[in-house]
C-alpha cells in the first residue's frame, strides 16, 4: 500500500500546478522518509520557488542539511508571498534558530499570511529576544495576525498560565523550556490574552 501511495505522489511531482507539486513533496516526505532523499535533492532545483521551498523543508527535516537551512532563510525574503509563508513554516518545522533575524524582518511583511507565519515560526524557534517585535503585532490591522501575537508564548515572557482562581487569572512564573523562574515575567490580563 505504501508503494502505491509513493508512486502516486511521485506522479504528482510532474504536475503543472505548483501547489500540487509542493504538497506532493510534503506528503512524500511524511510517507517515504529518507528513502526518497535523491528526489528531494533533485526538486531542490525546480524552476518554481514554492516547490524548492517544499523540497528544502523535506531535506532539512529528514537529512538536517545545513545548506538547505541557509536556502530556506533566503527564501523568507522571496518576492512571492506564498513562498515567504511556506519558508517561515519550514523554518519553524526545522527549528532553525539562525533564521531569527529574517523572521523578525518578516513580521513587518506586507502580507498578513507571512506576518502570521513569521510570528508562529518565532514561537517555534523559541526566540525570546523577539518579544518586543511580536508585541507590535498586537496593533496589526489583520485579526489573524493579532490572534497569533496574543497567543504567542514568546510575548508572554515564557510564562505558563495556571488555572483560574476565582475571578482572577494567576500566572506561574516558569520558563517554557526549563521550568525555571522567569527573570522578567510579563503579567497580562485576561482581556490582553483574548480570553
Per-residue model confidence as pLDDT tens digits over 185-195: 444 444 444 44
127 or 114, greater pLDDT: 114
Q: What is the 3-state secondary structure (H, E, C) of 48-110?
A: CHHHHHHHHHHHHHHHCCHHHHHHHHHHCCCCCHHHHHHHHHHHHHHCCHHHHHHHHHHCCCC
Q: What is the pLDDT of residue 111?
A: 93
pLDDT in tens, 3-48: 888 888 888 888 888 889 888 888 888 887 777 788 888 888 888 8
DSSP state of 158: S
Instruction: Tell me if 31 sits within 8 A of 9, measured CB to CB.
Output: yes
Rounded Cα distance between 59 and 54, Å, is 9
Element (H, E) at 163: strand 160-165
pLDDT of 47: 85
The 3-state DSSP class for residue 173 equals: coil
Tens of pLDDT, residue by residue over 81-91, are 989 998 898 88
At 154, the pLDDT band (50, 70, 90 cuts) reads low
Grouping H, G, I as helix, E, B as strand and the rest as coil, residue 153 is coil
Domains and CATH numbers, the chain: 1-64 (1.25.10)
Amino acid at each position: 500500500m505504501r508503494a502505491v501511495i509513493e508512486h502516486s505522489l511521485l506522479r504528482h511531482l510532474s504536475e503543472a500546478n505548483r501547489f500540487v507539486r509542493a504538497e506532493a513533496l510534503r506528503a512524500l516526505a511524511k510517507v517515504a522518509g529518507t528513502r526518497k532523499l535523491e528526489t528531494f535533492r533533485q526538486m531542490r532545483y525546480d524552476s518554481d520557488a514554492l516547490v524548492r521551498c517544499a523540497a528544502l523543508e523535506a531535506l532539512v527535516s529528514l537529512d538536517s542539511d545545513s545548506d538547505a537551512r541557509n536556502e530556506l532563510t533566503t527564501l523568507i525574503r522571496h518576492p512571492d508571498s506564498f513562498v515567504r509563508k511556506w519558508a517561515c513554516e519550514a523554518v519553524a518545522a526545522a527549528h532553525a534558530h539562525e533564521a531569527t533575524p529574517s523572521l523578525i524582518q518578516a513580521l513587518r511583511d506586507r502580507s498578513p499570511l507571512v506576518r502570521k507565519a513569521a510570528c508562529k515560526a518565532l514561537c517555534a524557534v523559541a526566540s525570546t529576544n523577539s518579544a518586543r517585535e511580536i508585541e507590535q503585532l498586537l496593533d496589526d490591522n489583520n485579526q489573524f495576525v493579532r490572534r497569533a501575537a496574543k497567543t504567542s508564548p514568546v510575548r508572554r515572557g515564557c510564562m505558563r498560565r495556571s488555572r483560574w482562581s476565582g475571578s482572577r487569572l494567576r500566572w506561574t512564573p516558569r520558563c517554557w523550556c526549563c521550568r525555571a523562574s522567569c527573570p522578567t515575567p510579563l503579567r497580562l490580563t485576561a482581556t490582553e490574552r483574548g480570553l
